[in-house]
Amino acid sequence: MSEDGMIYEELAPISQSAAEAAIASGDGPTIGRALLRLALHGPDWRFAEQQAVQHLTHDDVWVRRNAATSLGHVARLSGDLDVAVVVPALKALLSDPEVGGFAEDALGDVEVFMGVQWDDGR
């Protein structure tokens, strides 16, 4: 347990095929972890981005949150994203009270690590 009382799980690398199986499981926590593992350790940032974008509208709030966070990780770690797809998708979540803060954090990562300005005039 950390100093802030949170329990953090170390997220190990994941292969694309293992991620696809985890995502196909339909289990929210499994999907969310797979998205984060792809973003942090995946061999292909494009695949990680694609999976995260597809899950930004998932029914499970934690899958949506992890999808947004994953996009921030991809921006930070790879310095690459399809900003024409990712920025509008994240901006669409800003008004979602359950996910908006996560989307805003990811957009901040896109701005800081990729130099892409986004208009925060909601």
pTM above 0.85, yes or no: yes
89-120 confidence digits (pLDDT tens)? 999 999 999 999 999 999 999 999 999 887 76
Instruction: Note the Cα 11 to chain centre separation in Å.
Output: 14
Q: For 79, how many CA atoms within 13 A lie in the half-sphere containing its CB?
A: 1
CA distance 87 to 104: 10
Contact between residue 53 and residue 44 where contact means Cβ atoms under 8 Å apart: no
* Amino acid, res. 25: S
The residue with tokens 């929210």 is: 28
Work out the number of other CB atoms within 10 angstroms of the CB of residue 35. Answer: 30
The pLDDT tens digits along the chain (122 residues) read 456 666 677 899 999 999 999 999 999 999 999 999 999 998 899 999 999 999 999 999 999 999 999 999 999 999 999 999 999 999 999 999 999 999 999 999 999 999 988 776 54
What was the pLDDT predicted at 117? 84
Closest CA to 62 of 89, 14, 98, 9: 98
